[in-house]
Structure 1
Amino acid sequence: MGKNIDRVYDRSNKDSIIEYAQRLVGKSLREVTDAGELADPHKRRGSFGNAIEEYYFGYTPNSDSHADFSEVGLELKATPIKTVKKGKRTETAAKERLVLGMIDYMSLPVEKDFEHSHLAEKCSDMLLVTYQYEEDANPIDYVIKSVAEWGIPKEDLPQIRADWQTIYDKVCAGHAEEISGSDTMYLEACTKAANSAVRREQPFSDVPAKPRAWALKASYMTTVQRGLLKQMEALPRSEGEKNLDLLSLVRDRFSAHFGKTEQELQEEFGLSNSKHLCARITRRILGVDDNNQIAEFMKAGIVPKTIRLMRSGRPKEAVSFPCFDYFELEKTEFENSNFYGYLQQKYLFVLYREDDDGNYRLSDICFWQMPDSDLDEAKRCYDQMRRNVRDGRADLSAKSTENRCCHVRPHGRDGEDTLPQPHGAPVVKKCFWLNQSYLADEIAKAVS
């Protein structure tokens, strides 16, 4: 059952289990087990973790709700990392969310609170096996990069608790069918079914809901994997703020400055004029240094964005995303696109509203992520632009009048700022934009 590894370990001794697991570091399953070819993780998620359980630890994978090493309460989780390019440098990022277990809608209301939930028990003590994902490699050759005992850090518990409560409240209100990944920050209820038609019953409604699982978001797992918290700066908290969730904490920071203009805030914080003045004001209000990443924002994948609202409530400008590559657009499905990734991002909208004299004053903040229910509309815009490129008409754009959520328009310096396309002459640079009317409605809902 093995090659070079002595398979003796004591299931009743946590140190023995961890020591045995750490022998995997720097090796692949091909090197240390007799596993055959593994299932493609794109087609069968969890196949790599199952192989570690079966071929390395020597027990049959199961769907038992108890911890994998129940004798010591230790849960085994295998999770992939990938290497991503950031300009000229590369960074490590989590490839996907970490799924913790299925949500049982029918029994969830019995749990009452997070501390007494099955999830809290499941994620309190984990053996995290991290492996390097390589797109063209056979999974049996993925290299294990680290093995560590890990649990939810105490500083993250207020937000995890709030995320759990949000999902719990929807189930108890009979609205499990309305759960969305955009509802929460660190913890989410991700869809989990063989196909999109599968549904499960819920306790307080006759409307069936999609099967979902508890999961830690990919942005959160990226922060965990990088192990860089010491290089980040956590938002400062007073004694009375230690149990606040993230939205409450951020609102507490901003509320003292509501009603002030950008110029007043600039003078208050002693900032010089610069292209990123509003972003620097945001960091000063939050109490963090310009050069440090904000730990809580990294975990939740939050990107701050300043939005100026006219007196009507309509944003002064539409929100744009980075320019797309026409060749990449043609060959990439929506779910694998950068655009989809931007829409899965959570944003901190810092809102400046126009007053009667035409001055923009800090008025509110809200967290926003495109609801799951709007992703099909965004996909329609993406697919329309993709067809234009495929038909050799990259010069045509998906218009805001044709889509409720988003549109495409130029984003170059001028008409000479172009990119090549697959089926014709170079075309001016373009990007996807969120419609102003859509943003106005979404901001109004988020603020209320």
Structure 2
Amino acid sequence: MKPEPKSEQELLERARSIAGMSFADLAQEANMTVPNDLRRDKGWVGQLLEWHLGATAGSKPQQDFADLGIELKSIPIGYNGQPLETTFVCVAPLTGVYGLTWEQSHVRNKLSRVLWLPVEGERDIPLPDRRVGMPLIWSPSPEEEAELKADWEELMEMIVLGQFAEITAKHGEVLQLRPKAANGKVLTEAYGATGKPIRTLPRGFYLRTQFTARILQRNYV
């Protein structure tokens, strides 16, 4: 892995240096094997980009570039320039959430400063041939943060009340809460509507595609 960048500008320049390169070229330099597809290797693209950019946080709740306060998010893009899927932000806390505020949340911490790195995502493009796009450093505007905060507070209130069965992907205008597990057998501790401990699927926060599409449109058009 390349050394961690010392500044935001160095990180941005490093990201620009791999723009236009294919996954095959990047994997060869990193001595990584390109998988046949991403169904069983969903995190492979992120790991490849982390290697080239010098991200060290891995799956920790802090930002990928903790010293710089910057999170790395790759975003698969279609031929029309639109995001092809929602963007995972972080795992949602299901216990110890009483009194937790938006300002203290992992979601706000992760999204306070983001390096967006678009990648070609159309399935008819062979994985080795897919290329990396031009990077973008972004922080939410006051309006965007207000949208995120409103959704986060609504979803966290449902978690506090133990309303897991009622939470669907339709909740939240820009931020949604969905199961985050390799399979349905992976359960974690939470508290149900009666306040008693229960076992339920882990949940994760995801940005809706219309929100990330707006970010791209405002900054690339």
- TM bucket by the smaller chain? 0.7 to 0.9
Identity of aligned residues (%): 22
Alpha-carbon distance between aligned partners in 2 of 1:93 and 1:127, rounded to the nearest angstrom: 17
Q: 1:206 aligned to 2:194?
A: no
Do 1:98 and 1:218's aligned partners in 2 also have CA atoms closer than 8 Å?
yes
Q: 1:109 aligned to 2:95?
A: no
Q: 1:73 aligned to 2:69?
A: yes
Pairing 1:20-35 to 2, within 5 Å after superposition: 20-34=14-28, 35=32
Partner deviation per Cα, 1:115-172 (whole Å, 9 max, x = no partner): 2212111110011111111313332321112211112222122221110011110111
Q: 1:11 is matched with which residue?
A: 5
1:114 maps to amino acid? W
Q: 1:222 is matched with which residue?
A: 213
Q: 1:96 aligned to 2:92?
A: no
Pairing 1:402-421 to 2, within 5 Å after superposition: none
Residue 80 of structure 1: CA displacement? 0.3
2:149 maps to amino acid? R
Do 1:202 and 1:208's aligned partners in 2 also have CA atoms closer than 8 Å?
yes
Structure 2: gaps (5+ residues):
none
Q: 1:45 is matched with which residue?
A: 42
Alpha-carbon distance between aligned partners in 2 of 1:10 and 1:24, rounded to the nearest angstrom: 16
Q: 2:133 is matched with which residue?
A: 145
Equivalenced residues, count: 215
Structure 1: gaps (5+ residues):
2-6, 84-90, 231-448
Residue 194 of structure 1: CA displacement? 1.1
Partner deviation per Cα, 1:313-333 (whole Å, 9 max, x = no partner): xxxxxxxxxxxxxxxxxxxxx
Determine helix, strand or coil for the equivalent of 1:225: helix
Alpha-carbon distance between aligned partners in 2 of 1:130 and 1:229, rounded to the nearest angstrom: 11
| CA RMSD in angstroms, aligned pairs only | 2.4
Pairing 1:170-209 to 2, within 5 Å after superposition: 170-203=158-191, 204-209=195-200
Pairing 1:376-391 to 2, within 5 Å after superposition: none
For residues 119 and 60 of structure 1, do their structure 2 counterparts lie closer, same or farther at Cα, with a shift above 3 Å needed? closer
Residue 60 of structure 1: CA displacement? 6.1
Residue 110 of structure 1: CA displacement? 4.4
Residue 229 of structure 1: CA displacement? 9.8
Q: 1:342 is matched with which residue?
A: none
Do 1:67 and 1:73's aligned partners in 2 also have CA atoms closer than 8 Å?
yes
Do 1:132 and 1:143's aligned partners in 2 also have CA atoms closer than 8 Å?
yes
Partner deviation per Cα, 1:18-76 (whole Å, 9 max, x = no partner): 1111112111132244232136223332221111113x135567211111111111111
Alpha-carbon distance between aligned partners in 1 of 2:63 and 2:36, rounded to the nearest angstrom: 24
Do 2:114 and 2:139's aligned partners in 1 also have CA atoms closer than 8 Å?
yes
Do 2:92 and 2:202's aligned partners in 1 also have CA atoms closer than 8 Å?
yes
Structure with the greater relative contact order (CA < 8 A, sep ≥ 6): 1 or 2? 2
Partner deviation per Cα, 1:293-350 (whole Å, 9 max, x = no partner): xxxxxxxxxxxxxxxxxxxxxxxxxxxxxxxxxxxxxxxxxxxxxxxxxxxxxxxxxx
Residue 221 of structure 1: CA displacement? 1.6
Residue 198 of structure 1: CA displacement? 2.9
